[in-house]
Amino acid sequence: MNAYAQRVLDELKAKNPNEPEFHQAATEIIESLSLVFDKHPEFESKGLLEMIVEPERVVSFRVPWVDDNGKVQVNKGYRVQFNSAIGPYKGGIRFHPSVNLSIMKFLGFEQIFKNSLTGTPIGGGKGGCNFDPKGKSDNEIMRFCQAFMSELYRHIGADTDVPAGDIGVGAREIGYMFGYYKKIANEHVGVLTGRGLAYGGSLARKEATGYGLVYLVSEMLTHFGNTLKGQTVVISGSGNVSIYAAEKTMQLGGKVVAMSDSNGYIYDADGIDLALVKEIKEVKRGRISEYVQTRKNAKYVAKHTDIWTIPCQVALPCATQNELDVDAAKALVKNGVIAVGEGANMPTTLEATKVFLDAGVLFAPGKAANAGGVATSALEMAQSSQRMFWSFEEVDQKLHGIMVNIFKNISCAAAEYGQPKNLVLGANIAGFKKLSEAMLAHGVC
């Protein structure tokens, strides 16, 4: 690795111990950028990389709320405002018991490069809380969202920092948080994206991450002489990203045979009945295991990680970080996988990514492949500013154009640096280009 890149990575690890996810995300990106620093030694004297790896601001706060039994619960909330060189901080809010500073920083760091790739004017940030929404009543969810926003509102704003949803934060939670922001800030502005259509949301935002993922994977397959049509596809998770990745896959002629949640996976050789999955997950907020009660020929396996042993040509990990490890990657390669597209953020471990790249499997990294969600959030911001609404087709068409453009940029960057099939490298370098231009233009600040 380039000496400057190695030094910054070593210092980052020493200064931020006990942050393995942040180290992992930083290692992947800095390794790729090493090639850029070989070409541009002048970046070192400007301290560019040191500035990029340090968040502009990290806010951590307590979130006290009262459960249905009248007991006070206290959770830990975060907002990492990582980089605002290209535009206001932008990135989702995650409610999950695993949330900690390391996970917030890895997500915020990835978000900077992802948002740069979209070509829209947004910086990078991320937030969340170690709150577990599972099993909570609707009233508890509302009280918790209000408690979370009662602190977060001080730090965000339509031109400052615009959060959105992520794991555990969907339309319901955005609604409660937006309602409370409006009340205490006394303004009805585009401070959150993923809003309901009745109060300023964008058509196609709900579908955007999953659709965008499949647009990019389809583009990648076509570019390398193949097609999504007729391929067998395995998708992990059964949340927002997974459901709409499955929908677009089916629309483009792929066959989805498996989906999962954190308890287990379903396998349906006839092709997943997506209407049934939506009914279970979106309407009833149930578990994926319920699928086999209706579809008698399908099977349920109570071990979600084994989903990667199912033979398929295309694998779309859409659940969470590090869900696809080296053994899973080897099983997929052995079973003939030709393409992997990351719908989730960093779902593939560094070692597993290497297995795919070494085997010549087409690999679309999350910061490019799942950028459709945040790109459409930027389209929601544009509609809010104009007080205008675009049709579903108009937003979807713009989303498609953005994903095609992202693929073009990352594949060109990969080719420019002599590794045309290495889209991990291409995405990191292409994302860095605009970021570095903006930061250098702003001077030392």
Active site residues: 126
Chain residue whose CB lies nearest ligand NDP: 239
Minimum separation from the CB atom of position 11 to ligand NDP (A): 27
Q: Which is nearer to ligand NDP, 154 or 303 (CB)?
A: 303
Q: Is residue 304 near ligand NDP by the rule CB under 6 A? A: yes
x/- contact string, 312-341, with ligand NDP (CB under 6 A)? ------xxx--x------------------
Q: Is residue 373 near ligand NDP by the rule CB under 6 A? A: yes
Q: Residue type for 141, please?
A: I
Minimum separation from the CB atom of position 438 to ligand NDP (A): 22
What are residue 72's phi and psi, to 5 degrees? -80, 130
Q: Which is nearer to ligand NDP, 34 or 238 (CB)?
A: 238
Q: Which is nearer to ligand NDP, 255 or 281 (CB)?
A: 281
Q: Interface with ligand NDP by CB under 6 A: which range of 43-51, 222-230, 255-263, 434-442?
A: 255-263
Q: Is residue 343 near ligand NDP by the rule CB under 6 A? A: yes
Among 167, 364, 402, 427, binds ligand NDP (CB under 6 A): 167
Q: Is residue 240 near ligand NDP by the rule CB under 6 A? A: yes
How many residues belong to the site for ligand NDP (CB under 6 A)?
A: 25
Q: Is residue 410 within 8 Å of 423, Cβ to Cβ?
A: yes
Q: Is residue 431 near ligand NDP by the rule CB under 6 A? A: no
Among 87, 200, 237, 254, binds ligand NDP (CB under 6 A): 237
How many angstroms from the chain centroid is the CA of residue 340?
Answer: 15
Q: Is residue 19 near ligand NDP by the rule CB under 6 A? A: no
Q: β-strands 314-316, 299-301: how paired? A: unpaired
Q: Is residue 165 near ligand NDP by the rule CB under 6 A? A: yes
Q: Residue type for 39, please?
A: K
Q: Is residue 344 near ligand NDP by the rule CB under 6 A? A: yes
- Which residues bind to ligand NDP, rule: CB under 6 A? 165-168, 170, 209, 237-242, 261-263, 304, 318-320, 323, 343-345, 370, 373
